[in-house]
């Protein structure tokens, strides 16, 4: 039975050429937006796009998480700023022309600390004069009223056929299958449309395990399962008829 190497296909998908989303982020940064919020469950893909953005703009790039602290993407140097307030203070010391991707920072905004909110607003004010952009990355929108007008929200689009095709090619290569082209390839990619790159990779890999091939019927079955799960999760969320973004809100 053929085996699959998952990391190879994922890297292929995330190291793709600049996308339309890439251009949108670049335009916002060039326009001097100090705070962006990207809504997406695809952390790896967003990070890859952010790398491309920083490269094109000739900006430095730092990642932050509560586990890793503030990490320079170029040399891996880490600042032990694991606390979100410490991170904001450390960001002020970074050089101009820097992008800071804040992973899971939205979780600290669900029940906002007034000191954290005040510091965030102050950092955004200084960032605008220093060509710095703070990007919050989260799978859902979670902004307190105090920051709603300070931060611009961008919903990250799901991968298109080209990006899904890269994931498919990675699975084919790692499983040592024959190249899939033409109508069969289109059927597989159509079946995967609407999935994230990781969900598509999982569906392709499962199909290889079950049928020793990438079967569009199995991919479609897995997509239906994902859609059903997401529908159940959405039905459990409290709905606010006055807020069109309620489905994304905390």
Q: What is the pLDDT of residues 94-113, one digit of tens each?
A: 999 999 999 999 999 988 79
Q: How many helices (H) and strands (E) does the chain have?
A: 9, 7
pLDDT of res. 108:
93
DSSP letter for 69, please.
E
pLDDT of res. 18:
42
pLDDT of res. 13:
34
- Choose among 35, 164, 166, 41: nearest CA to 88: 35
pLDDT of res. 216:
93
pLDDT of res. 20:
77
Give every residue of the chain whose pLDDT is below 50, as ranges.
Answer: 1-18, 240-248
Contact 214, 168 (CB under 8 A): yes
Q: How far apart are CA 205 and CA 213, in angstroms?
A: 9
Polymer length of the chain: 250
pLDDT of res. 156:
87
pLDDT digits (tens, 9 = 90+) for 213-224: 999 999 999 999
Q: Which residue has the tokens 């950092």?
A: 123
Sheet with 132-138: list strands edge to edge.
78-79, 69-72, 60-65, 98-103, 132-138, 35-39, 152-155
pLDDT of res. 191:
95
Q: Cα 132 to the chain's mean position, in Å?
A: 20
Q: How far apart are CA 40 and CA 190, in angstroms?
A: 21
Mean pLDDT for the chain overall: 86
């Amino acid at each position: 039975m053929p085996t699959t190497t998952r990391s190879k296909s994922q890297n292929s998908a995330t190291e793709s050429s600049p996308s339309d989303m890439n251009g949108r982020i670049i335009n916002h940064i060039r326009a001097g937006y100090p705070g962006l919020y990207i809504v997406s469950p695809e952390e790896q893909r967003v990070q890859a796009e952010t790398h491309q953005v920083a490269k094109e703009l000739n900006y430095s790039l730092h990642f932050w998480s509560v586990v890793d602290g503030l990490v320079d993407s170029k040399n891996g140097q880490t600042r032990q700023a694991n606390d979100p307030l410490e991170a904001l203070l450390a960001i002020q010391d970074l050089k101009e022309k820097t992008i800071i991707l804040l992973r899971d920072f939205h979780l600290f905004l669900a029940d906002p600390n007034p000191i954290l909110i005040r510091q965030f607003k102050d950092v955004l004010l200084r960032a605008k004069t220093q060509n710095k952009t703070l990007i919050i990355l989260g799978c859902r929108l979670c902004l307190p009223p105090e920051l709603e007008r300070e931060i611009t929200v961008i919903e990250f689009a799901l991968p298109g056929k080209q990006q899904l095709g890269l994931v498919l090619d990675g699975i084919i290569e790692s499983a040592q299958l024959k190249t899939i082209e033409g109508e069969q390839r289109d059927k597989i990619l159509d079946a995967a449309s609407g999935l994230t790159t990781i969900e598509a990779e999982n569906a392709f890999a499962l199909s290889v395990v079950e049928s020793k091939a990438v079967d569009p019927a199995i991919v479609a079955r897995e997509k239906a399962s994902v859609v059903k799960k997401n529908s159940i999760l959405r039905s459990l969320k409290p709905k606010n008829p006055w807020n069109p973004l309620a489905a994304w809100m905390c």
